[in-house]
Amino acid sequence: MQVMKNTATITGTVTVSTDGSALSNPNGPMGWGWAEHTDTTGGHIASSTGRDCDCGGASNGTNQIGELCAVLQALRTHRGSYCLIIESDSQYAIKCSTIWLEGWKKNGWKNSKHEPVKNAPLIKAIDREISERPGPVSFTWVKGHAGNMYNEKVDSLARGYAEKCQAGRAPNYLPYEGWQSLISSIYGHSMTIPDNPSQAPQADDYLAADQTSRPEADKDTTKEGSRNRVSNSATAPTIETTETTETTVAHELLAQIRSAADQFNLAAQRLENASAHMDKAIASLDEAIRRFDDSSWDNNHQDTLF
């Protein structure tokens, strides 16, 4: 599928949700994602790529790098004169893009401890995009994992890509400044910036179209699909025979198959329930990490974040 650049004239306000994820924060597979609120634009897509979402990540990184990459890519794909609202559940990403960067610029990009600001390449790029954009940009904080449809979508995009990086099923896909921030941290010592990296990653059909890390089909094959396969085996045509012994054996085999099918279905149900509990635990852990990071920054403990 060929991606066509969007040349339509956009008016009004466009809202884009962003999110970052790290499976083991810090120093674990990371992801980023953005998604347009197409329900408020009548289905029209404003991004220059002609897509309503995109995602990426790397095999190693931090949640903060993922959050900032998502904001930067949302800005780069929405450079029009229309009003742009960026929604994020990260106080860190919002304050880096608005309040804190003004002080850092005055201090020569040094923090309160007179140390280099972490993730400065990404923050500087975000500042440039906002300053050079014809239309205004504003940020809105939303509570994470609270049922917000688009926040859940970008969380799924970011976390899903991080999971693919962890499994070796997706390539590293970051903006150039994301690579710079990663390499300059202690978590990128074994990584190198790609040759001739572009300022923004090119849209990729497979990545951008992969909107969720857990397709419904996977759930079906875990539970109902497995049950159907076993049931088909249990109801396979039987061979009638006049021999009593053969009939008895056939009935016993069918009974054993049905019993095995019931046990399998019960195990599948338990596995699905355990998976649901694990998803909730992961969501709670993500929220706890965000709260810790935000409170650390609010208390000026900037040396604890990456």
User: pLDDT by residue (tens digit) across 230-269?
Assistant: 333 333 333 333 444 455 566 667 667 776 776 777 677 7
The predicted-structure confidence for 126-135, as pLDDT tens digits, reads as follows 999 999 999 9
Which residues carry out catalysis? 19-20, 67, 89, 145, 155
Q: Return the higher-pLDDT residue of 117 and 285.
A: 117
Q: Which of 93, 39, 107, 94 is nearest to 62 (CA)?
A: 93
Interval 214-239 mean pLDDT: 32
Q: Which of 44, 53, 51, 54 is nearest to 11 (CA)?
A: 44
Interval 22-45 mean pLDDT: 85
Single-letter amino acid code for the residue at 69: C
The predicted-structure confidence for 145-165, as pLDDT tens digits, reads as follows 898 999 999 999 999 999 999
Q: What's the chain's Rg over C-alpha atoms?
A: 25
| pLDDT of 264 | 76
Percent helix / strand / coil, the chain, rounded to 5: 50, 15, 35
Q: Which of 172, 170, 169, 155 is nearest to 60 (CA)?
A: 172
Q: Which residues pair with 16 in a beta bridge?
A: 36, 86
| pLDDT of 212 | 32
Question: In the chain, pLDDT over 70 holds for what percent of residues?
Answer: 66
Q: Is residue 49 over pLDDT 50?
A: yes
- Answer for the pair 222, 267: CB distance below 8 angstroms, yes or no: no
| pLDDT of 249 | 60
Q: Is residue 1 over pLDDT 90?
A: no
**Residue 278 banded pLDDT, cuts 50, 70, 90:** confident
The mean predicted confidence, pLDDT, of the chain is 77
State the Cα–Cα distance between residues 134 and 85, nearest whole angstrom. 14
